[in-house]
Amino acid sequence: MRHLFFLVAFAVAYVLAARAQTIDTAILGTVLDPAGAPVSGATVTILQPTTGLSRVSVTSQEGTYEARYLVPGEYVVETGPAGFRRERRTGVVIQLGQQARIDFSLLVGTVEETMEVSTGVPLLQTENATIAGVVDQERVESLPINGRRFDDLAVLTPGVIVYNPDLHSSSTDGSEIGGNGGRLIWGQVNVDGITMVNNRHNYVNVYPSLDAIEEFKVQTGNYSAEYGGNAGTNINIQIKSGTKQFHGNIFEFFRNEALDARNYFLPAPQPKNELRQNQFGGTLGGPVWKNKTFFFASYEGIRSIADSPSQGIVLTQGQRNGDFSYLLPAVQLIDPKTGAPIPGNIILPGQIDTVAQNIVNQYMPLPNIPGATTPNSTNYAGSSRGDLTVHQGIIRVDHYFSTKDQLFAHYIYAHRNFPLTEINPNFKFTGTYPIHNFQAQYIHTFSPSFMNEFRAGFDLENVAQLGTHRTAGFIESLGITGMKVNGPNGRPLRVDEEGFPLLGISGYIGMGDDFSASNLDNSRTYQFVDNVSFIKGKHTFKVGGDVRRLLDDATTNNTPFGDLSFTGDLSGDAAADYMLGIPRTVLTPEGVPITAARQWRFAFYGQDDWKVTPKLTLNLGLRYDLFNPPHDINHSIYTLDFITNPAAPAFIPVTDPIWTLSHRDFSPRLGFAYSLTPNMVVRGGYGVFYFGGQFDHINILQLNPPTAGSVTILNQSGVGNLTTIENPMPPSANLASPPNAVTLPSDGKHPDTYVQNWNLQAARQFGKNDVVEVGYVGSKGTHVDTSFRYNWNQPDPGPGDIQSRRPYPTLSRIRMQSYGSNTIYHSLQARFEHRLSKQLNLTTAYTYSHLIDDSANTTNDGGCQCQNPRNIKAERASSLFDQRHVLVVGYVWDIPFAKSWKGPAGTLASGWSFQGIVTLASGNPFDIQESSDTQNNDGIYERPSLTGQKISAANRSPDHWFNTNAFKPSILVYGDSPRNPVVGPGKHEFDLSLGKTFKMPYRENHSLQFRAEFFNAFNTPQFANPDRFLGDGDFGKITNTNLPNRELQFGLKYKF
């Protein structure tokens, strides 16, 4: 608390000592007389034509003025003090987060004389060193986006990468956005300044309708001390506001697989994947109270079906009756209970397990392919289907009490319903995902140079993805008894943990529910922000704080209901093992534990933007983040105690605090912007950014016993007391291995991840419409979270039993959380922008970069994936996320042809537009690993050895992406193949859109637009990485794609 008191006192003292600061979106400048001297006391009026509202500022003794907290859009700026001619700048368009400089050099005259100048969009950023880009309304609404999700446009900013899953399959996940070498989870996305990311995984949880977005800003580095709590890309979305005139639209976008090209790996006559999608909605905005209150509202709905036809093998009626005579003479079945041959391979009715028979008859379909009567051959045709229904509503209200007080608020409600059905139609799960996001902002202007902004809001989401068999007593109704969490001596399943155990028959379609049928995540964030800004001389100060309360109740499991595997190792055939009711292995259920994580986060900052000279601005900031250790109010998380009994650590409850609180998260931000000429600026800076973490690192601790955890039971042929499907966990069961564990570092330390970011860039404006920016951007990540194997063998790879060689033989695999990973990133970034000339808007972003790290991913997403945990230095290599070259071009062209034509010819020939996004990118490196445990080292992340041949293939193709002969098995030794030695296929995608706008003859400003959008327009296969496991039949071969082949979408939009 001493540190908290010190920071509050520091912030208060800062406010009292200075009196001002920079607000996100602003117009500022200097008023000079003909001799170049500052004009003080001049009134500058900033008018927003769309609302009729104006803001007044008075120049200081230095002749400077500022207007802060402006809504992005078009403005008119004018001034005309006594003795000077009035000067008006029209068409001043400012973007979100921009500090647009509008300077005046007045001429002597009278106020009755007015000089009007059309300004347009200020293209040069001369006020700060932030690395950022803005995607404006025209690009948001016009560019072709598959799925119409805003974040796909973030790549128009150099250095940005976006992961955007298919909502039909990854139903509870949203997109993640990274930049400048940062991990995807380090990003932050806000809507009107309030968070909209999940607390467990840090992904975007709602996609505001594109027609409701005014624009959004993507900050990738060296941003103001006002922003933090994340160490990567920071995005802020601005929801549209109402205006003094009613306006809106109605739209429909239509997709159908009949319009799409075939998947490269599904040639005719195989059926296409089905996709039927309608995305529809509308917007309406306007005045409520003239010049006082405005509203904007939107609705968007999605109705979508994605159906992927597939085929598999199901048990025939003969197999279900015990007839396996077709296996003779090649395979003679053995009775696992006696070791004796089964005569004629006919399992007699008295030998057939009735529980297994009843389950397969009820929950596995019979063959349905005509003529496919041969057992063990493809005889069933089905599909995996995902249905998606989305409702989303947005309302925003702006109210101006006076020129000194304004209030605005938004409320977003989205509800996603996503039932999924597997190829076995008896196994499906329902999914519901309601989201609420609310924000209110109050701005008070004490004087033109002293303002306060208070902002409060919340982001609530509640995922419930459940199987249809989640009912009390269900497992016993199948005839399966004795299922317990963590083995025969573990705890019974609770009523709400009931589900269908996985029953896997090798080579056949499965039965049962996996972790997808027990996904619960109730994530809530409450946020309070206050910013004070004031101007004193050449300094614009801003100080403030951000307080957040994070809550998350979530499950984490892999096999919640257990897993019984029938492999054929016991009788000689997998289906026969099943009909005898004798599994080879039983993975005991983990249950469905729920961790209720709670955390407070505090941040305080001070920022000084100092206009040292008319050409030089310094950005000086300091931020302090205090991330209190989270705690679990359900007391469901456990860790290992290595202190009490070092030789045999035991599981103990995690106590508060879960780790030592870090008091050192100070983040300096330094930047400069120097105008070499009126059309050229050099910008550079350095900053530190701390990451507050995600709750997934807490939730995985619930996998430990006694809360959860699982062990493997192994059946051996000829053993009299066999585990059966009726009683898969008898007290006498043969445990194949002790339980796994996830553990915190034993020293209790938890240094917060932080990133250092630096940049030096030069920008040059050509004429009124073009700007080029080129620069170097670098970053370094420290204390990056990951995990590594802690219970690895002693000695290293070699002969002998694995378990007995472990340091802790009473446990199996131990995953130790770690914060010792590092990243380093270097890049050349370039951006070209052309605006509003001949109806063409063009943005080009190019990045040449290299990202190096020493771990594959975060704690619960693969972890370190290091081959030898004792030699982390050997893991340093190009990152999985490294992309050497990325070029993205976005363009919007309103074709000027035939605009003056009249009559039917003019109606048909005019009003056409052409839009597109071009993406050309290098592939990502990937690791080569063994497909089996050749090192006798537990079979995790084992690399092969090199043969001395070149890794690159002479004639690379999808069937031979790299030289597979460059690798050989590493037998009982660590492989000498480096990490990530092969680079996968890149991306070459052209998305195009052709539109036609018809102006309505009955009303001005009413129009109808038709659009045809072509995604991957030239039908170029976007190949995924090849098989990377030495020993696989497809090793080195590409068998799937990352993106579909060409897809077509039609859109219709009525605007008024």
Mean pLDDT of 428-446: 93
Q: How many domains does the chain have?
A: 1
Residue 985: DSSP 8-state: -
C-alpha span between 937 and 131 (Å, rounded):
46
pLDDT at 119: 72
**Res 726 pLDDT > 70:** yes
pLDDT at 718: 60
pLDDT in tens, 952-991: 998 999 999 999 999 999 999 999 999 999 999 999 999 9
pLDDT at 991: 98
Residue 496 φ/ψ, nearest 5 degrees:
-80, 5
Per the model's pLDDT, the better-predicted residue between 289 and 267 turns out to be: 289
**Res 19 pLDDT > 70:** no
Kindly indicate the confidence band of residue 860, based on its pLDDT and cuts at 50, 70 and 90: low
Quick check: 334 and 572 in contact, CB under 8 A? yes
- Quick one: CA torsion of 333, 338, 343, 347, rounded to 10 degrees? -70
pLDDT at 559: 86
Question: In the numeric block, which tokens belong to residue 459?
Answer: 């982001």
Burial label, 576 (beta-carbon count in 10 A; 0-12, 13-18, 19+): buried
Domain membership of residue 45 (yes or no) is yes
**Res 672 pLDDT > 50:** yes
Domain membership of residue 81 (yes or no) is yes
pLDDT at 21: 32
**Res 14 pLDDT > 70:** no
List residues bridging with 503 in a β-sheet.
511, 564
The least confident of 5-19, 474-488, 728-742, 757-771 is: 5-19
Using only C-alpha atoms, the chain has a radius of gyration, in whole angstroms, of 32
C-alpha span between 542 and 200 (Å, rounded):
31
Mean pLDDT of 673-683: 96
pLDDT at 11: 38
pLDDT in tens, 571-583: 999 999 999 999 9
C-alpha span between 235 and 227 (Å, rounded):
10
Residue 36: DSSP 8-state: S
Task: Tell me which residue range forms the domain holding 120.
Answer: 23-126
Nearest to 604 by CA among 672, 530, 552: 530
pLDDT at 884: 97
Kindly indicate the confidence band of residue 925, based on its pLDDT and cuts at 50, 70 and 90: very high
C-alpha span between 789 and 865 (Å, rounded):
9
C-alpha span between 230 and 530 (Å, rounded):
18
Kindly indicate the confidence band of residue 172, based on its pLDDT and cuts at 50, 70 and 90: low
Kindly indicate the confidence band of residue 852, based on its pLDDT and cuts at 50, 70 and 90: very high
Reported as type and span, the H/E element at residue 419 is none
Mean pLDDT of 754-766: 97
Mean pLDDT of 1022-1031: 95
CATH value at residue 51: 2.60.40.1120
Domain membership of residue 329 (yes or no) is no
Q: What one-letter code names the amino acid at 518?
A: S
Number of CB atoms found within 10 A of residue 749's CB = 12
Kindly indicate the confidence band of residue 856, based on its pLDDT and cuts at 50, 70 and 90: confident
Kindly indicate the confidence band of residue 4, based on its pLDDT and cuts at 50, 70 and 90: very low
pLDDT at 116: 73
Per the model's pLDDT, the better-predicted residue between 371 and 880 turns out to be: 880
Q: What percent of the chain has pLDDT over 90?
A: 64
pLDDT at 721: 67
Domain membership of residue 547 (yes or no) is no
Mean pLDDT of 115-138: 85
599 CA to centre of own chain: 22
pLDDT in tens, 20-75: 333 478 899 999 988 888 999 899 999 999 888 888 999 988 899 998 888 888 99
**Res 3 pLDDT > 70:** no
Domain membership of residue 700 (yes or no) is no
Kindly indicate the confidence band of residue 175, based on its pLDDT and cuts at 50, 70 and 90: confident
Nearest to 88 by CA among 64, 72, 107, 73: 107
Domain membership of residue 386 (yes or no) is no
257-290 burial, b if ≥16 CB within 10 A, otherwise e?
A: beebebbbebeeeeebbebebebebbbbbebeee
pLDDT in tens, 764-814: 999 889 999 999 999 999 999 888 888 887 778 888 888 888 899 989 989
Mean pLDDT, the chain, rounded, equals 90
pLDDT at 380: 95
C-alpha span between 145 and 207 (Å, rounded):
13
Domain membership of residue 37 (yes or no) is yes
Q: What percent of the residues of the chain are helix, what percent strand, and what percent coil, each to the nearest 5? A: 10, 45, 45
Domain membership of residue 734 (yes or no) is no
**Res 250 pLDDT > 80:** yes
Kindly indicate the confidence band of residue 462, based on its pLDDT and cuts at 50, 70 and 90: very high
Mean pLDDT of 137-151: 94
Mean pLDDT of 386-395: 95
Kindly indicate the confidence band of residue 112, based on its pLDDT and cuts at 50, 70 and 90: low
Q: What percent of the chain has pLDDT over 70?
A: 95
The pTM assigned to this predicted structure is 0.90
Mean pLDDT of 749-778: 95
For the chain, the distance separating the N- and C-terminal CA atoms, rounded to the nearest angstrom, is 56
**Res 356 pLDDT > 50:** yes
Residue 548 φ/ψ, nearest 5 degrees:
-130, 140
169 CA to centre of own chain: 15
